[in-house]
Amino acid sequence: MINSIPPVVPAGRMRALPQPEFELPGGLLLRPWAVRDVPALVESCLDPDIRHWNRPALLTPAEAEERIARWHARWHDEEAAIWAVAPATGGPAVGLIGIGDLDLAGGSGEILYWLLPAGRGRGAMVAATERVSRWAFEDLGLHRIRITHSVANPASCAIATKAGFPLEGTMRGALLHADGWHDEHLHARLRTDAPV
């Protein structure tokens, strides 16, 4: 059967684009992850808040380097776009933001993010979410981007709301954390929504 609905984002569009860098307020930069960020990635897997809400596996430095290489490959394979949140003056990453679960044909993806303590409290993730969303809509051509998070995580809820992602509903028992099943909020923006 031939699909009569054309893809929202044609295959090959993302891999044809270089992964951009974006300046953020507060002297921060979104850039591709690099080998120099290995210690920050290893540290993120030990941070109690990141571990609780994002459930990462512990990584050795070698495994962290492999993961960074895999993120670069996932850009080329059009599966995900992952950025480091880092000081614009140089230095290791203080956070991560990306769009995963990409469905280019269907025009959707899901934003994911975390910050190490050194990156928290500056509004960096709201600005990063706004900027990555703008890129995903305007440059890549997605139609819908979602953010999901545990209802017990008010910080993620505040980021999503401030970045212009209205709450659409609650998904019951949607994600298993170390302390049991959590309901999750679902936030989303459409390319046609008014700018933030």
Location of structure tokens 């050194």? 118
Q: Which residue type, as a one-letter code, is found at position 109?
A: G
pTM recorded for the entire structure: 0.94
- What does the pLDDT read at residue 1? 58
Residue 157 has a pLDDT of 96
Q: Contact at 8 Å (CB) between 11 and 104?
A: yes
Q: In b/e form, how buried is each residue of 31-67, taking b as 16+ CB within 10 angstroms?
A: bbbeeebbebbbbbbebeebbebbeeeebeeeebbeb
> From CA 75, how far away is CA 191, in angstroms rounded?
21
Quote the CA–CA distance of 103 and 130 in Å, as a whole number: 20
DSSP 90-145: S---SEEEEEEEEETTTTEEEEEEEE-GGGTTSSHHHHHHHHHHHHIIIII--SEE
Dist CA 17 CA 14 (whole Å): 5
Q: What is the pLDDT along the chain (196 residues), one digit of tens a residue?
A: 567 889 999 999 999 999 999 999 999 999 999 999 999 999 999 999 898 888 878 899 999 999 999 999 999 999 999 999 999 999 899 999 999 999 999 999 999 999 999 889 888 999 999 999 999 999 999 999 999 999 999 999 999 999 999 999 999 999 998 889 999 999 999 999 988 7
Cα dihedral sign for 47, 50, 56, 62?
negative
pLDDT at 2: 65
Per-residue pLDDT reduced to its tens digit, 96-142: 999 999 999 999 999 999 999 988 988 899 999 999 999 999 999 99
Largest pairwise CA distance in the chain: 53
SS3 46: coil
pLDDT at 196: 76
Amino acid 104: pLDDT: 97
Q: 147 - beta bridge partners?
A: 187
